[in-house]
């Protein structure tokens, strides 16, 4: 995907989100939990990557199966400099 050069505020073209992804997001998103965690980050300044990178690396290399979205449905775009 290429950035929309006509609109600098829209770095990636918008695509319609598939209904099954929207349904999944609605079922798994907890607004109260999100707001509680956001307020905690605002109050404490959050944590540094160095404080939890080992946990992330351990999960990334773990052999246990975790449910994931179908990665073929997700796309990434980069903004050319």
Give the pLDDT score at 58. 87
Which residues make Cβ contacts (< 8 Å) with residue 66, sequence separation at least 6? 59
CA dihedral of 68, 12, 46, 31, whole degrees rounded to 10? -60
Residue ranges of domains in the chain = 1-61
End-to-end CA gap in the chain: 14
- The Cα 80–Cα 2 span in angstroms is 8
pLDDT at position 6 over 70: no
Give the percent of the chain with pLDDT over 70.
Answer: 63
Q: What is the pLDDT of residue 75?
A: 46
Instruction: Provide the strand spans (E) within 1-81.
Output: none
pTM: 0.42
Position 49 confidence tier, pLDDT thresholds 50, 70, 90: confident
């Amino acid at each position: 995907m290429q950035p929309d050069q006509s609109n600098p505020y829209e770095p990636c073209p918008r695509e319609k989100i598939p209904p099954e992804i929207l349904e999944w997001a609605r079922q798994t998103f907890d607004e109260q939990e999100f707001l509680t965690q956001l307020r905690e980050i605002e109050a404490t300044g959050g944590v540094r990557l160095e404080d939890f990178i080992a946990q992330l690396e351990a999960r990334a290399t773990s052999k246990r199966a975790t449910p994931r979205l179908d990665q073929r449905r997700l796309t990434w775009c980069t903004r050319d400099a």
